Structure 1
Amino acid sequence: MIPPKPKSRPDRVSLLRYLRLFRADLLSAQPARLYRAWMAEFRTPFFRSYLVNQPDLVKTVLKDRPMEFPKSGRIAEGLRPLLGNSVFLTNGETWQRQRRIIDPAFEGGRLRETYPAMWDAAQAALARLKAEAGAEVEIEAHTSHAAADVIFRTLFSLPIEHEVAQAVFHEFRAYQRTQPILNLAAFLPLPRWMPRFHRASTKAAARRIRGLITELTAARQADIAAGRAPDDLATKIMTTRDPRTGETFSTSEMVDQVAIFFLAGHETSASALAWALWLVAAHPEWQERLAEEAQVLGDTPEFSDIAKLRLSRDVFREALRLYPPVPMMVRETRCPERFRDRELPKGAQVVLSPWHQHRHERLWDNPDGFDPARWGTENGKTCAREAYMPFSAGPRVCTGAGFAMVEGVLLLSLILRDLKLEIVPEKMPEPVAFLTVRARSGIWLRISAR
């Protein structure tokens, strides 16, 4: 079975039509030729945008000269109400300082320390799914619940059942459904004093989320001061000093970072796991192989077991290839550039698209097919190095990439060890891009006990 992907628009549409399509769904707003193009130019009255798929040019932007291609301020416009001045949106020295404080919390040894909390969240998710045995289930709701639980247990040592954690989770789901990837301010050259055209519901949800996160952060600061804080990710980040300045994050800075941890660690993980579960349901032969492999998992959290789940890791990598949670990333030229004999002016938008590069017809064998075995082929190994970036790449690679891979592999294996999944043919998922790649009407599966 070929996994579903959005229909593409015609090559030529009016600017107004394109903006409407873009606002409704980023993926179906793009023409089919982008799955073969090395580079494409899009012009508006106010700026030029260049989608780049050619691997060596992507490497130039992300790895070779990343400081010359900072994050686009146009993208930040839509996310600022929730994320403030978080590490996801900043550039230059501000971003470097934030990474110096954040990165130590996600080093390899910390993954082992957070694994028991991750295991507990996975067991709770498995119990909720077992209670649904015999039913048709909208699996994105379950993966969102599970990913939120992982974040709160590892970040603040709180299960999702905690009152504030529950409130953040529900508010975030509301926010995700009101916030398009780009708002109107991304397309217009607005002065700073003008309003940014955010929906009232989006701003209200962002205020509520940030208020709840402020409550958690202030309580943790008090616990740190009193010497009673648990040794979790929040404590590690809030007590880490910038090695250059000796400063720690202020409360408002930490609120910004927690907001992006929740967005990056909850939204993206939930999306990837939901698509992975649908893919194995659609390919029973792989599901059975993963179920057999998952028997190595015992009844207690052993971090060393993760290394034994090789097939599960390959399946999860394939899900990230076909359905990268963040479908596009936008950088900006700090100086004029020349790509493929084209002149890119200063301030041009450089769009890097995991969605298109991961399915590029000139790079991948069987680009639209589900084939976890590809990672052992020469083509798969080459593309893994040169055309695979579900977590971005270079200095701005997602800090929690290793964390996400452990979480996804663990949850996928535990669920398949105990449960059998089947697709619901009359409810085929249609991928669309909101904040992440989700399904327009959800991802439905039939669940039964093994």
Structure 2
Amino acid sequence: MSLPPKPTARAPRVSLWRHLRLFRTDILSAQPARLYRAWMAEFRTPFFRSVLVNDPALLRLILNERPRDFPKSERIGVGLRPLLGASVFLTNGAVWERQRRIIDPAFEGGKLRESFAAMRAAGKAAVARLAPLADGRAVEVEAQASHAAADVIFRTLFSIPIEHETARATFEAFHTHQRSQPLLNLAAFVKGPSWMPRLHSRETRRTARRIRALIAGLVTARAEAIATGKAPPDLATKIMTTPDPETGERFSPQEMVDQVAIFFLAGHETSASTLGWTLYLMATHPEVQDRAAVEAMAFSGEFSGLSKLKLIRDCTREALRLYPPVPMMVRETTRPERFRDRALGRGTQVVLSPWHLHRHERFWDSPDAFDPDRWSRAETKDSARRAFLPFSAGPRVCPGAGFAMAEAAVLLAALLARYRFEAVEGSVPVPVAHLTVRAKDGIRLRVWKR
């Protein structure tokens, strides 16, 4: 069995401008192979200095022990601001802390159980959409995964299915935006004043405005429903009615648009990436798929049955390891630091790369292989603890991590119980980093009814 696709590493030495061009086009193939075994690597340009960190002690320092000293870098943020505004994904300091105080209660305790019905409904709808295509023809499953994940987030956030006019329009605009927006733009390389042009494409700016206008309409309608006591008890209502426990203030309509935009990005785009790659990996490993299908067909359909989907959970973990939706996170030093006996000045960019960490030769046996059974072996526990960051870690860990894992299990169980997926000969997806790790030209699989 061949290894899952992985971008070819760039040559060990290239010119600065060649590297920057590769980095802007696709950050995954712009990396040298040595980063898959290095504890730390440094990169200098005339515009900034950066270090990529794989050392577990440094990762723990940055994410868990001193997170306030390493805020998110604005170099990444400016590329995403047309869509995400001042969402919790991009903010730092007191602003971020206030946002998390309002958002976190919606994901705590038994809140996951309340979203389970929406996940199940979206799973059934995904099964129904595939039915007329499941005759052995090649189906672009990444698009199907996007559709299903968007359905989950709209049902969970606003109690509307993807077929709702506004939901469908938002989904279509987001698909266009995702393809037009590289992860990095000019500001990632040249840090300048706020008035400096950021060179977002016309399509990026147009689709971002369209998405935010659609979200604003949903937020306005929900605010009116809340005021009249007619709002459903979904995620949007919970967040819009939750006051900051320290100030008593709630999100303004503009702030809520920012947060819904990141919920859609995090709750739809990352889940779609994970689902698409998991289906591909199962299709190319039919013996694993057959075992997972048995598990799926035995699923009770009840929330309590999620804990029995162990192989499906491990297949999802392995897909997240090989194809982490957010391949790199960038922090910034706020004071002089010393990493592995190397002095770093204030403003140094610190790259935390799940893409490299999850395939790191010092942590994982056969790091490029799809092996979901590794998660049940004792030797994997240490690597999972030290070198597995699909949802970040520490105070900035994704609040929806548990939601995402449950969603993946529900959707995969629904699909595998009804359909068998086969690889299309000669069709190998190429991983690239847009807003998340996607396949350059989609993922095509043959689908059969079981």
Which TM bucket (shorter chain)? over 0.9
3-state SS of 1:320 partner: helix
The residue number in structure 2 matching 1:272 is 274
The residue number in structure 2 matching 1:133 is 134
Select which of 244, 247, 262 maps to 2:246.
244
Alpha-carbon distance between aligned partners in 2 of 1:21 and 1:425, rounded to the nearest angstrom: 29
The residue number in structure 2 matching 1:403 is 403
Matched, 1:49 2:46: no
The residue number in structure 2 matching 1:15 is 16
Matched, 1:342 2:372: no
Q: Deviations over 1:86-110 (max 9, x none)?
A: 0000000100000000011111311
Structure 2 residue ranges without an equivalent (≥5):
none
Instruction: Output the amino acid matched with 1:155.
Output: L
Q: Deviations over 1:155-210 (max 9, x none)?
A: 00000000000010000000001100010112112111222211111111101100
3-state SS of 1:50 partner: strand
Aligned pairs for 1:165-314 (under 5 A) are 165-298=167-300, 301-314=301-314
3-state SS of 2:364 partner: coil
Alpha-carbon distance between aligned partners in 2 of 1:439 and 1:339, rounded to the nearest angstrom: 35
Structure 1 residue ranges without an equivalent (≥5):
none
The residue number in structure 2 matching 1:158 is 160
The residue number in structure 1 matching 2:370 is 370
TM-score under structure 2 length normalisation: 0.99
3-state SS of 1:42 partner: strand
Alpha-carbon distance between aligned partners in 2 of 1:239 and 1:30, rounded to the nearest angstrom: 45
The more displaced of 340-349 and 184-193 is 184-193
The residue number in structure 1 matching 2:65 is 64
1:410 Cα offset (Å):
1.1
Q: Deviations over 1:214-237 (max 9, x none)?
A: 000010000000000000000000
Matched, 1:447 2:439: no
Alpha-carbon distance between aligned partners in 2 of 1:379 and 1:440, rounded to the nearest angstrom: 34
The residue number in structure 2 matching 1:380 is 380
Instruction: Output the amino acid matched with 1:363.
Output: F
The more displaced of 166-175 and 288-297 is 288-297
Superposition RMSD in Å:
0.8
1:418 Cα offset (Å):
1.0
Alpha-carbon distance between aligned partners in 2 of 1:112 and 1:381, rounded to the nearest angstrom: 27
3-state SS of 1:87 partner: coil
Alpha-carbon distance between aligned partners in 2 of 1:379 and 1:334, rounded to the nearest angstrom: 37
Q: Give every structure 1 segment of 4 or more consecutive aligned residues whose post-TM-superposition deviation is greater than 4 Å.
A: none
Decide whether the 8 Å contact of 1:35 with 1:357 is kept in 2.
Answer: yes
Decide whether the 8 Å contact of 1:61 with 1:69 is kept in 2.
Answer: yes
The residue number in structure 2 matching 1:325 is 325
Alpha-carbon distance between aligned partners in 2 of 1:102 and 1:42, rounded to the nearest angstrom: 36
The residue number in structure 2 matching 1:31 is 32
The residue number in structure 1 matching 2:392 is 392
3-state SS of 1:190 partner: coil
3-state SS of 1:426 partner: coil
3-state SS of 1:378 partner: coil
Alpha-carbon distance between aligned partners in 2 of 1:186 and 1:24, rounded to the nearest angstrom: 13
Instruction: Output the amino acid matched with 2:446.
Output: R
Aligned pairs for 1:67-86 (under 5 A) are 67-86=68-87
3-state SS of 1:181 partner: coil
Alpha-carbon distance between aligned partners in 2 of 1:271 and 1:193, rounded to the nearest angstrom: 34
The more displaced of 137-146 and 197-206 is 197-206
TM-score under structure 1 length normalisation: 0.99
Decide whether the 8 Å contact of 1:364 with 1:379 is kept in 2.
Answer: no
Decide whether the 8 Å contact of 1:296 with 1:305 is kept in 2.
Answer: no
**Residues matched between the structures, number:** 448
Alpha-carbon distance between aligned partners in 1 of 2:341 and 2:425, rounded to the nearest angstrom: 47
Q: Deviations over 1:112-163 (max 9, x none)?
A: 0110011101100011112211111010000000000000000000000000
Instruction: Output the amino acid matched with 2:27.
Output: L
3-state SS of 1:421 partner: strand
The residue number in structure 2 matching 1:98 is 99
Instruction: Output the amino acid matched with 1:390.
Output: P
Instruction: Output the amino acid matched with 1:50.
Output: V
Alpha-carbon distance between aligned partners in 2 of 1:87 and 1:329, rounded to the nearest angstrom: 14
Decide whether the 8 Å contact of 1:217 with 1:254 is kept in 2.
Answer: yes
The residue number in structure 2 matching 1:89 is 90
1:414 Cα offset (Å):
1.5
1:23 Cα offset (Å):
1.3
3-state SS of 2:160 partner: coil
Decide whether the 8 Å contact of 1:320 with 1:390 is kept in 2.
Answer: yes
Q: Deviations over 1:257-313 (max 9, x none)?
A: 000000011110000000000001111111010111112224xx4111111101110
Alpha-carbon distance between aligned partners in 2 of 1:408 and 1:146, rounded to the nearest angstrom: 10
1:425 Cα offset (Å):
2.1
The residue number in structure 1 matching 2:144 is 142
